Amino acid sequence: MGKSYHAVKWAESTGSPLTIFTSRRELYGQYEKWCEEQGLDYLVLPAFHHECETIGEDHPIEGRIDDLYESGISGAEIHREAKRYFGRDLPCQLDGPCQYMEKREFDPENYDVLIGHYLQAHNRDYIEERYVAIDEFPGDSYFFEPTHNEATRAVSNYLRAEDTLPFENWKDLHRRHDNEEHETVVSEWKEEMGFYSHRDTRITLQRSPHFHAHAPLLTHAAIEFDLLENEWEYAELGSGRVAVRTPEDEWTILIPPPFYAAESVVALDGTPTIAKWRMVLGGDWIEHEEVLDSDEEKREYLGDVLGLKIKQTDAGAKPYQSGSHVNVDSDGALLESIHEEEGSRPAVITSKQAKEQYKSTDVQQHVEVAEHYGNLKGSNKFAETRLGAIIGSPHPPEGEAVIRWGAIDGEAISRKVGEDGRVTKGMNLDFGGYGNALFRDVVEKEVLQAIMRFSRTPSEDEHGATVYAHTSRLPYWVEADERLEVNTWSKGMVEVVGAIRDSEKWPDGEWKNGEIAAETSVGDRQVGELMKELDEEGYVTHRRGGRGNAYHWSNERLDEFSRYGRVV
């Protein structure tokens, strides 16, 4: 629908200042091109790890910089206070100011459009009194995820310097924080923290090996944690900030940027999960505008507007994230069939693990180019590709993709137990209503987004694409134009055909079951059954005669026999 382009077009037509946040620097170029076409003054926001010459140049000090940055000290603060932190200037400052710091010296009012990464939304100067567009869901960009040891050490270090709270260290706080005698003191401390004063930058603390600027927020979370029914813990910290903790004591802190400072914010997402957007933006004030508000309109959009023809197999869920369930034979049968049927090789979207397994087999010769799900956000790589295959569905760790997001919303989510008493899985996987919505967000919607990556740019003589979906994980409203069944050959069948095609009598001779069995690990009787199957499929013909009225098999079209299987 061109939503990204039209955000820039809106800035040109209204004259309003716009800031765009997206996922990767590779996507900035497209925005720069659009701004130039519209005659807009734009600036790509300077990024610490990209602009600073000290980073990535194998300087001995780089590791110490990274440690300090991970402790919550900003790149700008590291440069401004380099002598305090390191006793000397940074290598990038020896011949004058660092180019990163120089590029930060600009007035946002001088630019119609600012372009940057999701994380840069934390800098209030980039959003204040500007309109903001967030291109696609930012995922976990606004998460801070310390380990248990990092969090508890930071809290203990903070408590040693914080006289207001009556706790000596993490263990003392964990044991006594909810005692009534401390209620007044703790309440006063929380009030003094204020909405966004969650950082501690005291010089004395920064010299500690366990310093962390987010220690006040971690301490606040430790005081507020409540136990959910699934053994996760949840703490509401104000201003949209939320902390959750797993049963294994791994922490996640959600810190939304100060979007309240913007004139307004638009979230661009073709397949949104509203609850997750509400969480990452830090408020309940989202207005959801559906462009296509019925299932019929959505189907018309896929078929008539995008020109997509979807052919879907009966493959089931095919969760391919881990790589342990990749079925190379089934995938090969489909890709080989597509190659033969369409006369060209498809572009493939699958998991990173499946891509690697294809490279070590004959499957790769039926793939034009492959990409994995994790590298698709905002990508136009297949914008002019007319033939594609989506193989398998993404299935990220449930703790991160479903249970954690539920916990951040204060909901306890876990897999349901079926009527047979077993935990649900496969196409019967069930997390309950809200949990299923979160799961669909990272599975069914990702598969649909992958399909819609094809043929986004029509040409003069071509429009649309044919896309094969080798997974059943599609939104319920999507209706395939064609249903396919993929059947793979058994190991014995491959051996039998190989023996025939390798024999001296190939291709015009005759073969009996015993002759074939002698060249394979398959017995006479099983060879007979496999040859009858080939006969039914039209690959061979037979006559009967001689001793015992034996079968004599002849080649009909075994040269067309596919390596992996067949598609019906």
Q: Cα–Cα–Cα angle for 274, 217, 406, nearest 5°? A: 30
pLDDT tens for each residue of 259-274: 999 999 999 988 888 8
Mean pLDDT on 359-366: 91
Would you give the DSSP letter of residue 45?
P
Q: Tokens 């001779």 appear where?
A: 509
Instruction: Indicate whether 76 pLDDT > 90.
Output: yes
Q: Does residue 500 lie within any of the structural domains?
A: yes
Q: Does residue 549 lie within any of the structural domains?
A: yes
Q: How many domains does the chain have?
A: 4
Instruction: Indicate whether 553 pLDDT > 90.
Output: yes
Lowest average pLDDT, out of 32-41, 278-287, 445-454, 549-558, goes to: 278-287
pLDDT tens for each residue of 104-152: 999 999 999 999 999 999 999 999 999 999 999 999 999 999 999 999 9
One domain for residues 159 and 266: no
Q: Does residue 400 lie within any of the structural domains?
A: no
One domain for residues 316 and 391: yes
Q: Does residue 305 lie within any of the structural domains?
A: yes
Q: Does residue 431 lie within any of the structural domains?
A: no
CATH of the domain at 459: 3.40.50
DSSP string, 463-516: --EEEEEESS-S-TT---SEEE-EEEPPHHHHHHHHHHHHSTTTTT-EE-HHHH
Neighbours of 28 (CB within 10 A): 17
One domain for residues 473 and 339: yes
One domain for residues 327 and 233: no
- Identify the pLDDT of residue 64: 87
One domain for residues 105 and 148: no
Plot region of 104 (φ>0 → left; ψ -120 to 50 → alpha; else → beta): alpha
Label the pairing between strands 550-555 and 387-391. unpaired
CA–CA separation, 533 and 8 (whole Å):
60
Q: Cα–Cα–Cα angle for 166, 170, 171, nearest 5°? A: 95
- Identify the pLDDT of residue 142: 95
Element containing residue 70 per DSSP (H, E): helix 62-70
- Highest average pLDDT, of 30-44, 205-219, 391-405, 453-467, comes from 30-44
Check if the beta carbon of residue 106 is closer than 8 Å to that of residue 43: yes
Q: Cα–Cα–Cα angle for 409, 74, 57, nearest 5°? A: 120
Predicted confidence band of residue 194 (pLDDT cuts 50, 70, 90):
low
CATH of the domain at 126: 3.40.50.300
Instruction: Indicate whether 30 pLDDT > 70.
Output: yes
Query: What amino acid occupies position 349?
Result: I
One domain for residues 456 and 533: no
One domain for residues 185 and 305: no
Check if the beta carbon of residue 40 is closer than 8 Å to that of residue 8: yes
Predicted confidence band of residue 198 (pLDDT cuts 50, 70, 90):
low
Mean pLDDT on 155-176: 90
One domain for residues 166 and 106: no
Predicted confidence band of residue 294 (pLDDT cuts 50, 70, 90):
very high
Q: Which of 562 and 196 is assigned the larger pLDDT?
A: 562
List 114's β-bridge partners, or say none.
19, 43
Q: Which of 290 and 224 is assigned the larger pLDDT?
A: 224
Label the pairing between strands 369-372 and 347-350. parallel
User: Which of 428, 454, 486 corresponds to the end of one domain?
Assistant: 486
Q: For residue 138, is the peptide bond before it cis, meaning its omega torsion is within 30 degrees of 0?
A: no
CATH of the domain at 528: 1.10.10.10
Q: Does residue 458 lie within any of the structural domains?
A: yes
Q: Does residue 495 lie within any of the structural domains?
A: yes
User: Which of 465, 486, 507 corresponds to the end of one domain?
Assistant: 486
- Identify the pLDDT of residue 355: 92
- Identify the pLDDT of residue 195: 53
Check if the beta carbon of residue 547 is closer than 8 Å to that of residue 496: no
User: Which of 454, 486, 518 corresponds to the end of one domain?
Assistant: 486
Instruction: Indicate whether 394 pLDDT > 90.
Output: no
CA–CA separation, 424 and 432 (whole Å):
11
Plot region of 208 (φ>0 → left; ψ -120 to 50 → alpha; else → beta): beta
CA–CA separation, 40 and 408 (whole Å):
39
One domain for residues 265 and 241: no
Tokens in use for 314? 């009966």
One domain for residues 329 and 384: yes
One domain for residues 374 and 321: yes
CA–CA separation, 565 and 447 (whole Å):
24
Q: Does residue 76 lie within any of the structural domains?
A: no
Contacts 24+ apart (CB under 8 A), 128-131: 128/261, 128/262, 129/17, 129/261, 129/262, 129/263, 130/17, 130/18, 130/19, 130/262, 130/263, 131/11, 131/16, 131/17, 131/18, 131/19, 131/262, 131/263, 131/264, 131/265, 131/266
Tokens in use for 423? 């935990």
- Identify the pLDDT of residue 61: 87
DSSP string, 253-270: EE----GGGSSEEEEE-S
- Identify the pLDDT of residue 62: 87
Check if the beta carbon of residue 562 is closer than 8 Å to that of residue 337: yes
Instruction: Indicate whether 197 pLDDT > 60.
Output: no
Expressed in angstroms, the distance from the first to the final Cα of the chain is 34
Query: What amino acid occupies position 482?
Result: E
Instruction: Indicate whether 196 pLDDT > 60.
Output: no
One domain for residues 217 and 228: yes
- Boundaries of domain holding 386: 295-395+443-486
Query: What amino acid occupies position 428?
Result: N
